[in-house]
Amino acid sequence: MKKVFFLLFSLLLLTFACNRAMRKSSKSASGNTDATSGATKNQTVHYKNEKHLKNLRQITFGGDNAEAYWSFDDRSLVFQATNPDWGTKCDQIYMIDRKNPKAKKHIPQLISTGDGRTTCSYFLPGDTTILYASTHLADKSCPAVPEKRADGKYVWPVYSGFDIFVADLKGNLVNQLTNTDGYDAEATVSPRGDKIVFTSMRTGDLELFTMNLDGTGVKQVTFDLGYDGGAFFSPDGQKLIFRASRPETEEDIKIYKDLLNEGLVMPTEMELYICNVDGSNLKRITNLGGANWSPFFHPSGKKILFSSNHASEKGFPFNLYMINIDGTGLERITYDGVFDAFPVFSNNGKWIVFSSNRNNGGTSETNLFLGEWVE
């Protein structure tokens, strides 16, 4: 993988564990954005080159909003947000209606407990319950965000207090799916409604596991050294797409293991991998360099939509791209000057939702955008 020297620039963190957002401290070539703050100085919602998007509209207005996932009937979205106006100091889980989000003037329905930090929510079959990861049992306070390191490394925290819970649509906890020492998070649900995939530290490394909807039948999927995370099922439930780091040199392996012992990972070099649900037929499908992450299957099951900074000279900005599952046919989808990520197709394939710094009024806000998908 080519080296992208993020160490020369300061990076700010949106602490989203499933597919955390990365921002870059530099000026964009257009002068319309300031990546130090994530600010977009223009008022663009839909850029003219974004031919696959139609009727794009903003559905949240303020704070940091990300990782919106669809109910099985495509009527609702569940997402995580930090918004002082909603009384949230760090990420909590909320639910909104696709047709009438009401997130501009009203606080959406809170699904999580309001304690600790949460991440990676997802509807379970029947659309009456939602799973998410939370640190609230370990500590009701927001866990600390890593301070800027003396060695300049940009890192993500891997909070050992994360476990996976299930709540009803009013926010009442109804089940706890994991109860092991260390990190359990990044859970998503198969479209077939039979399995959950998640990332866990239970073996001493960050590996993918699957389990039944009630937390039983845990099976390990990946085994190679490195951070495996942000996994999603294919539309037929037969395959998994995920991001991974693969330290190979002795120096990189030592850095990875030392950081992991501190509860940290360095996400500046990640590629996309695909495999069968049982881990067989594992293949790397990108070799772009930089950070390639937040992948999601196209409704056909033959392509992957993802976020990447591989075309950015200084590691910034991030835009959405699409690629065939065999690694061919790379196509750029969005043309934002700051940050686009977390793309998710609706179950019927008609709509797409993603997070972006576009149209944020010169602030550092990240909002959700919803549009129709055009082939």
Question: What is d(CA 315, CA 311) in angstroms, rounded to the nearest whole number?
Answer: 8
The per-residue pLDDT for range 66-111, each reduced to its tens digit, is 999 999 999 999 999 999 999 999 999 999 999 999 888 899 999 9
The per-residue pLDDT for range 285-295, each reduced to its tens digit, is 999 999 999 99
The per-residue pLDDT for range 177-221, each reduced to its tens digit, is 999 999 999 999 999 999 999 999 999 999 999 999 999 999 999
Q: Residue 298: how many CB atoms within 10 A of its CB?
A: 21
The per-residue pLDDT for range 115-134, each reduced to its tens digit, is 999 999 999 999 999 999 99
Q: How far is CA 349 from the centre of its chain?
A: 19
Give the pLDDT mean for 314-324. Answer: 91
The per-residue pLDDT for range 24-50, each reduced to its tens digit, is 333 333 345 555 557 777 789 999 999
Question: What is d(CA 38, CA 242) in angstroms, rounded to the nearest whole number?
Answer: 26
- The predicted pLDDT at position 152 comes to 83
Domains of the chain: 6-41+61-331 (2.120.10.30)
Contact partners, residue 221, CB within 8 Å, separation at least 6: 197, 207, 208, 209, 210, 240, 275, 277, 278, 279
What φ, ψ does residue 8 adopt, rounded to 5°?
-80, -5
* Average pLDDT across the chain, whole number: 90
The per-residue pLDDT for range 139-174, each reduced to its tens digit, is 999 999 988 888 888 899 999 999 999 999 999 999
Per-residue tokens: 104: 């501009």
The per-residue pLDDT for range 245-264, each reduced to its tens digit, is 999 999 999 999 999 999 99
Per-residue tokens: 67: 């990782």
What φ, ψ does residue 252 adopt, rounded to 5°?
-65, -35
Question: What is d(CA 371, CA 258) in angstroms, rounded to the nearest whole number?
Answer: 42
Question: What is d(CA 74, CA 173) in angstroms, rounded to the nearest whole number?
Answer: 23
Q: pTM of the prediction?
A: 0.92
- The predicted pLDDT at position 315 comes to 72
Question: Between the CA atoms of 312, 316, 317 and 323, what dihedral angle is there, to the nearest 10 degrees?
Answer: 50
- The predicted pLDDT at position 34 comes to 56
- The predicted pLDDT at position 42 comes to 74
Question: What is d(CA 189, CA 183) in angstroms, rounded to the nearest whole number?
Answer: 18
- The predicted pLDDT at position 36 comes to 53
- The predicted pLDDT at position 166 comes to 98
Residue 254: enclosing H or E segment and its boundaries?
helix 250-261
Per-residue tokens: 103: 């997130």
